[in-house]
Amino acid sequence: MPIVGFYSKNSTVELQIEWEKRLRVHLPSLKLVPLLSKDAEQATSALLWNSPLEILNKLKNLKGLISLGQGVDHILKNNLIPKNLPIVRIVDPYMAKSMSHWVILSILNFVRDAYGYYEQEKNKQYKSRKELNFLSLKIGIYGVGAIGSVVAKDLHNLGFAVEGWSRTKKEIEGVKSYYGENSIEKLIKNCDIHVCLLPLTPLTTNIFNTSTFAKMKRGSCFINAGRGDQVVENDLIEKCKSGHISSAILDVYRDEPLPKNHKFWQQSNIRIWPHVAAETNPETAAKQIANAINCIEIGKLPPNTIDRNLGY
């Protein structure tokens, strides 16, 4: 019987029950236990989101860890996990489509000035507003992997000109792709709308800063659903204040939940979302997580095991 430790920061007991129900469809004998309970001492794997990492080194039966999301930076931080312990991430088509929907929503709100219309509605103003010509816009997707490639394709299919950047070469129909550190500036300088979907690694930490924003076209839109630590927040605020960045739509932050006294709340052209762009769905992700648990149990490397050297 696989015993799996479970921890999801700020979650409820109901969420653990939901996961156990979904996972048992594929692994009927599975037992999901709270990571911080005594029962977790027998766990051979753990299903985690933003867990206290110190506890993991005390669980001597652990053979592998599974992230409850696409990102694994919450597990890799501070290098507390032994190198021989495999770490698995979720790669779920449902999550990719959810992210695509959110990015499309954010872009269309910008292009059609939806927030301007919302303000007019409050004041009972009935008049048209300036609409950007979507044919003249270039959208840059930073990170065209399992999720970013879906976003790029969907935007292309909507008639947008899309460019993508990744660490290694990618070929996506209808999307102009760049790769490697030396080519990222082409995307920064070419595009009008910038969408960050990058994993958090030492190379991507603080990648969007004063220097980066200054190279973007004046009036650019910046969208971040990657990780908060990829943005130097005060630099973004200053560029939004000056109008160099005309609109920023954010779903992730350095501190989450976003503190009530954070300056982002005070900046009218920064839009706040509470890290919901692509939430993990137990119904669609359960099968692959159950398979990962089973692989860990029998000593087989699960699909979507990360490369520690790359950080994803």
Cβ distance 52 to 13 under 8 Å?
Answer: no
Active site residue 24: no
Measured CA distances, 77 to 28, 151, 154, 193, 216 (Å): 33, 27, 33, 30, 30
Q: Which of 101, 227, 254, 308 is catalytic?
A: 227
Q: Which of 26, 244, 262, 275 is catalytic?
A: 275
With beta carbons less than 8 A apart as the criterion, state whether 129 and 116 touch: yes
Check the CA dihedral 254-205-301-278 and report its sign: positive
What number of other Cβ atoms are within 10 A of residue 30's Cβ?
20
Give the residue from 76, 63, 221, 201 showing the smallest Cα distance to 139: 221
227 is catalytic: yes
Name residues whose C-beta falls within 8 Å of residue 301's C-beta, 6 or more positions apart in sequence.
Answer: 86, 295
Rounded Cα gap, residues 115 and 105, in angstroms: 12
Give the residue from 58, 98, 97, 102 showing the smallest Cα distance to 81.
58
Report the catalytic residues. Answer: 227, 275
